[in-house]
Structure 1
Amino acid sequence: MRVAMAQLNPTIGDIGGNVTKIRQVAVKACRAGADLVVFPELAVTGYPPRDLLCRRDFLQRVERALAEEIAPMSREVALVVGAPVRGAAQGDGENTDRDFLYNAALLYTEGKLAGRQDKSLLPNYDVFDESRYFKPAGQRTPVPLGELNLGLTICEDIWNDKDYWNRQLYEVDPVEELVARGADLVLNISASPYHYGKIGLRLDMLRSIARKHHRPVIYVNQIGGNDELIFDGTSLAVDAGGEVVCLAASFEEGLVLLEMGRERSGPLFLEPVGKIDFQVPGAGSALPREDISYVYRALVLGIRDYLRKTGFQKALVGLSGGIDSSVTAALAAAALGPENVLGVSMPSRYSSPGSRSDARILAENLGIAFREIPIEGMFSAFLKAMNRDGSPCGDLAEENIQARIRGNILMFISNREGYLTLTTGNKSEMAVGYCTLYGDMSGGLAVLADVPKVMVYQLARYINREREIIPESVLVKPPSAELRPNQVDQDSLPPYEVLDTILQAYIEEEKSAEEIAALGFDPALVREVIRRVDRAEYKRRQAAPGLRVTARAFGMGRRMPIAWRAG
């Protein structure tokens, strides 16, 4: 049997467009000799559809698509497709009045539904909220296809191996049950979002599962950017000994074709077959080694898909001559093409000549459009209007009004000319509130909101890997908001190498102040950083959506109250 692994980038809610894409891929796979095409989790709706699943008309459109379009496709080639399904649980046919919703893997062949396995494990942590919408599977039974019994699983179902994790989040292990009931292989359809380090972890886990159960594993993952989440794909097949047979590219759509079968009564084997869109043998150097290039590619994909799926074609970035805006502009140019990016410099009386020239040189190096709009006149008008004697006070309010003037300019251009404004604040700044509401936080997408400052510099060096795009002076000068004379970030913050380590321990690892201090940090500094993180929640709640690239991002992955007090 030839199996095609279809790594697709669906658009959430676009059932017609997603089904068309499924059809095109099925035709291509069939022409390449595939007997079975496997699509990702919820491929019909895109993942995560969130409260679209609460709309009856939306679910009715899914049902029509499955019955009238997906099922007929299977007359030419068998399909495994992910979709939400209403009705009774499997094996609960007598209670069809129970209108529950299930996250299902559906096997279609010969023009009809031939098998179904609902998702058993519904994650309700980090960015996931599946128990809000779905009921867990009532049973786990292999689905027959020809001479093989398919152990169908969906995403989280493979993430509960007690021997790999040394603990279980759920009482049920779907893989263990399916193998015990005669599954010849484990087939997982997934929508597993990316964060730095996830690809290697996932690969290691899948290899461990294959070795433990002596079964091949076929894993098909979604790619694309959907709001804050970015999906890397990296679909793969692992043989029963845990060796990678084939590996799809990361952050790209495509098909991988492999042969599956038995030699006499021996174990099931997998082997790669010729190339469709991409297919890489799994040996040696082909295995992924994550580095900063993966974060770069994730952010580029996240920007491109966010604009494409929300109907924008061009982006706007405020260029300060600093590292964050430089990296944001470079990512935008890579995602959208330089011709679709505008950089705007808005110098004030405190902007250094070097920063002004760095912004212009960056725009020239990227090939993006550039405008310089000085804000001195507007700033002076504010100072005169808000100070009784017309004399500046030099306080925080006057610093912030500069950022707010710039935010207004960017949003004016956005409204008039149809650009999406990209904000440039990084995770370190967002964490401690070193950002201005309705100022530098104004915009439609926060590109670096989950990228710590130290990683921003790593991205900059990667962007400059072949030639100097971001001026070297940007990389070596002390970071500064330039809102008062001789200002640098370290007037208000500890060195970023220190700050980022404390933030990772507190936000991503959920360590207490005492545990962080025990790592060798000044206890007073740790308490102050934590205090600032907690107090800045009201700002983050009003921020633009941020692209997720770490294991714990602000927003939907970290849902903290605003009005609370440690007791």
Structure 2
Amino acid sequence: MKLCAVQLASRKGDVAGNLARHLRCIEQAADLGAELVVFPELSLTGYEPTLARQLALPVSSERLTPLQAACDRLGISVAAGLPLPTLQGVRIGMPILRPGQPVLAYAKQRLHDDELPFFSAGDEPLVFSIRQLQVAPAICYESMFIEHAVQAHSMGAQLYLVSVAKTAKGVREGHEHYPEVARSLGMPVLMANCVGPSDTFIGAGGSAAWDRQGNLLAALDERQEGLIVLDTTRETASGLPLDTRAE
């Protein structure tokens, strides 16, 4: 099975423009044979905590209809990033859209201190299936705690799907931590990070894939948009530039 992580420069608060770019990325991933594509944290709005409340959308929003239509047409599943409104407050969400199935909604369970004024923490772990593969989503800060991955593994997860918005320091720490997750749990890790301006920092890329032994299979650089395609059957991965010809 092929899975794809998209390294993307989302545009601040531009949901319509970001959605159009997501659709082009999904088309490219599907052309490469991917059955699941993951985007960076809050990819549909950009990682912009101060705008999250006004940009939050429920997973039932008609604005996500084009994503569902692409999933249905291409037979691909999509894990995107979006602030989600709940009775407990706005959450850092990951809508997971699948062909012909209801949308799943995962929310970040462990927040960084500087996120607390803007978001509330999720309270439900999630493992979902893509064919026979059991996938556990993780969003940035929480993925740096081995306990999160251990819980996912105990629920049957076979792959750790990580969506982040990380600085250069965060990427370095991630590239140290995620191989240990893979080695200790025997579970490949696929990570998608952003590039370009986000909130008060610069997204530092480094999107990557590690096999179940913790070997780095492929990684992107710190500046360019692109794709990481992980083949879980062959345990290989490759990095590719993002096709921007339609933009």
Contact 2:84 2:93 in 1 (8 A): yes
Task: Report what 1:470 is aligned to.
Answer: none
Contact 1:119 1:153 in 2 (8 A): yes
Structure with greater strand share of residues? 2
Q: 1:138, 1:208 → 2: CA distance?
A: 25
Task: Report what 2:144 is aligned to.
Answer: 159
Task: Report what 1:145 is aligned to.
Answer: 130
Task: Report what 1:107 is aligned to.
Answer: 96
| Structure 1 residue 184: Cα displacement | 0.5
Contact 1:44 1:81 in 2 (8 A): yes
Task: Report what 2:148 is aligned to.
Answer: 174
Task: Report what 1:343 is aligned to.
Answer: none
| Structure 1 residue 42: Cα displacement | 0.6
The alignment partner of 1:35 has SS state of strand
- Distance verdict in 2 for CA 1:78–1:205, change over 3 Å: same
Q: 2:20, 2:163 → 1: CA distance?
A: 19
Q: 1:61, 1:110 → 2: CA distance?
A: 19
Task: Report what 1:59 is aligned to.
Answer: 56
- Distance verdict in 2 for CA 1:156–1:253, change over 3 Å: same
Task: Report what 2:237 is aligned to.
Answer: 272
Count of paired positions: 239
Contact 2:57 2:85 in 1 (8 A): no
The alignment partner of 1:42 has SS state of coil
Structure number with higher relative contact order (C-alpha < 8 Å, ≥ 6 residues apart) = 2
Task: Report what 1:136 is aligned to.
Answer: 121
Q: 2:12, 2:101 → 1: CA distance?
A: 25
Q: 1:40, 1:65 → 2: CA distance?
A: 19
The alignment partner of 2:121 has SS state of coil
Does 1:221 find its partner at 2:220? no
The alignment partner of 1:70 has SS state of helix
Task: Report what 2:33 is aligned to.
Answer: 33
| Structure 1 residue 247: Cα displacement | 0.9
Task: Report what 1:513 is aligned to.
Answer: none
Contact 1:72 1:111 in 2 (8 A): no
Q: 1:200, 1:99 → 2: CA distance?
A: 33
| Structure 1 residue 216: Cα displacement | 0.8
- Distance verdict in 2 for CA 1:123–1:108, change over 3 Å: same
| Structure 1 residue 223: Cα displacement | 0.9
**Which segments of structure 1 move beyond 3 Å, counting only runs of 4 or more?**
60-64, 111-114
Q: Which amino acid aligns with 1:271?
A: T
The alignment partner of 2:221 has SS state of coil
The alignment partner of 1:255 has SS state of strand
| 1:236-255 correspondence to structure 2 within 5 Å | 236-255=208-227
Task: Report what 1:20 is aligned to.
Answer: 20
User: Given the alignment, which residue of 205, 209, 219 partners 2:181?
Assistant: 209
| Structure 1 residue 227: Cα displacement | 5.1
| 1:377-392 correspondence to structure 2 within 5 Å | none
The alignment partner of 1:188 has SS state of strand
Contact 1:73 1:111 in 2 (8 A): no
Q: TM-score, normalised by structure 1?
A: 0.40
| Structure 1 residue 18: Cα displacement | 0.5
| Structure 1 residue 177: Cα displacement | 0.7
- Distance verdict in 2 for CA 1:15–1:111, change over 3 Å: farther
Structure with greater helix share of residues? 1
The alignment partner of 2:104 has SS state of strand
Contact 1:120 1:174 in 2 (8 A): no
Runs of 5+ unmatched residues, structure 1:
88-97, 162-172, 262-268, 279-567
Q: Which amino acid aligns with 1:141?
A: L
Q: Once superposed, what is the RMSD of the aligned Cα atoms?
A: 2.0
Contact 2:49 2:199 in 1 (8 A): no
| Structure 1 residue 112: Cα displacement | 4.6
Q: 2:110, 2:16 → 1: CA distance?
A: 28
- Distance verdict in 2 for CA 1:61–1:14, change over 3 Å: farther
Task: Report what 2:168 is aligned to.
Answer: 194
Q: Which amino acid aligns with 2:161?
A: L
Contact 2:171 2:205 in 1 (8 A): no
| 1:265-414 correspondence to structure 2 within 5 Å | 270-272=235-237, 276-277=240-241
| Structure 1 residue 152: Cα displacement | 0.6
Runs of 5+ unmatched residues, structure 2:
243-247
The alignment partner of 2:91 has SS state of strand
Contact 2:57 2:83 in 1 (8 A): no
| Structure 1 residue 59: Cα displacement | 2.6
Q: Which amino acid aligns with 2:15?
A: I
Contact 2:81 2:94 in 1 (8 A): yes
| 1:406-425 correspondence to structure 2 within 5 Å | none
Contact 1:71 1:112 in 2 (8 A): no
- Aligned-residue sequence identity (percent) comes to 23
Q: 1:247, 1:133 → 2: CA distance?
A: 31
- Distance verdict in 2 for CA 1:113–1:248, change over 3 Å: farther
Q: TM-score, normalised by structure 2?
A: 0.89
Task: Report what 1:4 is aligned to.
Answer: 4
Q: Which amino acid aligns with 1:216?
A: P
